[in-house]
Chain A
Amino acid sequence: MSDAATAARPDLSVALGALRLRLPTLMGSGCYGSGSEYAAFVELSEIGGVVLKSVTRLPRLGNPAPRLVTTPSGLLNAIGLQNPGIDAYLANDVPGFADRPCAVVGSVAGFSVDDYAEVTRRLAARGEIDAIELNISCPNVGSEGETFACDPGLAARATRAAREATRKPLIVKLSPNVTDIAPIARAVEAAGADALAVVNTVRGMAIDVDRQVPRLGNVSGGLSGPAIRPIAVLAVWEVARSVRVPIVGGGGIETARDALEFILAGASAVSIGTANFTDPRAPLNVAAGIRDYLAARGAATLREIVGAANPGYLGAR
């Protein structure tokens, strides 16, 4: 590549607190395993980072099957946070996360403030983990899991507990299943979050009309995919007018233009989940498309267009 071409190559790097990403594409928690599942299909150095599947204090077998239903432009899931628990996870899984050529963000779920504090402290202490995402918004574990994301006070308490448990970058993942996301975002920011992930899945269900029963083993689930994209874009728009910390925007992103909607609404980075199931090359195409978009507009960096469509954007550029 010539020097001129190198100079014209727009910079897609972003900072989420102290977490530096060379590329703005994070793979959504629960959708990408630990990254190794996709390493056969994609160069992991060509994604910004992987947000690992959530881990809890105790092992969880997860929800009964069926756990997946495809719906128009969407995917309903109710996995139920199946994971081996933090003890076995630290012993057996985490050592394998060393040497990933992308950022590795641990995801912590819990059912009490103490859960969030303890699991965050133990996971963040590991060198393999670059940052923590606090999953306070899983819709598939009864009312307990998502309660934290639906109440500003509880969201702040979980965030503060995790904040006190680590100095590593802390991302808190918010739920769209709320009346007003802005006060929750402000409470989480005030409690010490370095960044906000907006949003987790939208609650939903599907019924088998022939058998007259719910189609998911858990009855209800979380909807992802393009069906929820407009909901997620609005949530990012509203959060971007409410907080100064950077936002990881996600919900149904499949293409660069989808990702740009989130970025123009105020997201500094994007989360890609369900699109990997259609084509694991989606995140590579998103990054390449964003780069082309910036180059075509003469923009040198991604940062300068964050929130460009949102007059109320409060964050830094």
Chain B
Amino acid sequence: MPALEAAPSVHQTVVSDRREPVSGIVILGCQAPALAHATRPGQFVMVVPPGGERTGAALGVYEAGGERVSLMIAAVGPRTRELAGLAPGARLDMLGPLGNGFDLDALAQRGPTGSAEVALLAGGVGLAPLLLAARGLLERGAGVRLYYGARTGSALVDAESFAALGVAVELSTDDGSRGYHGFVTDLFAASGRVPTALAACGPSPMLRAVARAAQRLGVRAQLSLEETFACGVGACWGCVVPLERASAQAPPFPPPAPGETRDYVHARICKEGPVFWADELRW
């Protein structure tokens, strides 16, 4: 059997199924065999908006298996509302898979006790890229616990998909309407557990809190960053984050110019990321 092309390409997909577990959050399944085969946990796609909006939408791949990928879409703006409204049978073109994805081998490394216990922290639809990560970590023999937070209970979706894999799930809401009352990073701190590694996806303030928590615990964390993308393919340099020059992910860049005091490089979130080691970011 010829190997399927793993390089990114344009995929002309058809929406196969649509689920709206809670109002405003839609899980859109698409028939996309080559993409399903090629996608690694934590990678994303750029969706070509059917209505011709100005820029495509970057979405983390939620599920990928067989001939199907799915995307988790929070309908918050005109672009995402349009995508969330697509019905089965609709055509949807996407570029992908894009970005680096999680380094699951590194996350699944065993700690001093001989086992690997990975904590996944999700904020809102930052949950999306963590499902494939959870599966991959379990396959590598790691224990996985999901800390999943949202503004309110009705925005917590699909935790059962994680539980079905054998992932322990703990929930939090900002308003206390379900689970722990507070941020997901507070829930994690309150648990008192010290995992062997952390992986997280969500809004930037949450990821910064995860980075601080990881530093306190002396545990490394991989963060999947969210940012506005224009191209999504590394061409425009619009989505950068300051990254330690010594990072293995740092794009090549000459030493600081005369008079230049900033000793870091700007890495593209869409290309060198979206997943970075928390302790290598200079944000």
Contact of A279 among B48, B229, B256, B257 (CB under 8 A): B48
B145-165 CB mask vs A (1 if < 8 Å, else 0) is: 000000000000000000000
Q: A274 to B54, Cβ gap below 8 A?
A: yes
Contact status A37-B228, CB under 8 Å: no
Contact: B237 with A62, CB < 8 Å? yes
A38 contacts B235, C-beta separation under 8 Å: yes
On chain B, the residues within 8 Å of A59 by CB distance are: 253-254, 256-257, 260
Instruction: Report yes or no: A68 in contact with B238, Cβ–Cβ below 8 A.
Output: yes
A281 contacts B by Cβ under 8 Å: yes
The secondary-structure label for the interface of chain B is loop
Q: Is the CB of B239 within 8 A of A68?
A: yes
A92 touches B (CB below 8 Å):
yes
Q: Which of A40, A68, A84, A87 contacts B230 (CB 8 A)?
A: A68
**Given A30-B236, A65-B240, A67-B238, is A277 in contact with B54 using a C-beta cutoff of 8 Å?**
yes
List chain A residues, Cβ under 8 A from B52.
254, 278-279
Taking a contact as CB atoms closer than 8 A, the residue among A37, A69, A74, A254 that contacts B235 in the complex is: A37
User: Are B10's CB and A280's CB within 8 A?
Assistant: yes
Q: Which of A41, A53, A68, A73 has the most CB of B within 10 A?
A: A68
B266 within 8 A of A: yes
Does B93 make an interface contact (CB < 8 A)? yes
Complex alpha-carbon distance, A70 and B53, angstroms: 10
Closest beta carbon of chain A to B188's beta carbon, Å:
26
B228 nearest CB neighbor, chain A only: A68
Within 8 A of B (CB), among A65-86: 65-70, 73-75, 77, 79, 82, 84-85
Question: Which B residues lie within 8 Å of A254 (CB)?
Answer: 52
Distance in Å from the Cβ of B200 to the closest Cβ of chain A? 19
**From A40, which residue of chain B is reached at the shortest CB distance?**
B8
Q: Chain B residues with Cβ under 8 A from A279's Cβ?
A: 48, 52, 56, 93
A24 to B227, CA, bound (A): 33
Contact present for A41 and B95 (CB under 8 Å): yes
Q: Which of B8, B55, B231, B240 contacts A70 (CB 8 A)?
A: B55
CA distance A37 to B251 in the complex (A): 14
CB distance from B9 to the nearest CB of A (A): 6
Within 4-61 of B, Cβ neighbours of A (below 8 Å) are at 7-10, 48-49, 52-56
**B257 near A58: Cβ-Cβ < 8 Å:** yes
A87 CA / B254 CA spacing, docked (Å): 9
Q: How far, in whole Å, are A53 and B236 apart by their CA atoms in the complex? A: 8
A61 at the binding interface (Cβ < 8 Å) = yes
Closest Cβ of chain B to A160, distance in Å, is 27
Contacts of B227 in A (CB 8 A): 65-66
Could you name 23 residue pairs across A and B whose Cβ atoms are closer than 8 Å?
A: A30-B237, A37-B235, A40-B233, A41-B95, A58-B258, A61-B262, A61-B265, A65-B239, A65-B240, A65-B241, A66-B227, A68-B230, A68-B236, A74-B54, A75-B230, A79-B237, A85-B254, A88-B252, A274-B55, A277-B232, A277-B236, A278-B48, A280-B95
| A-B CB proximity, top 4 nearest | A33-B235, A37-B235, A68-B238, A58-B257
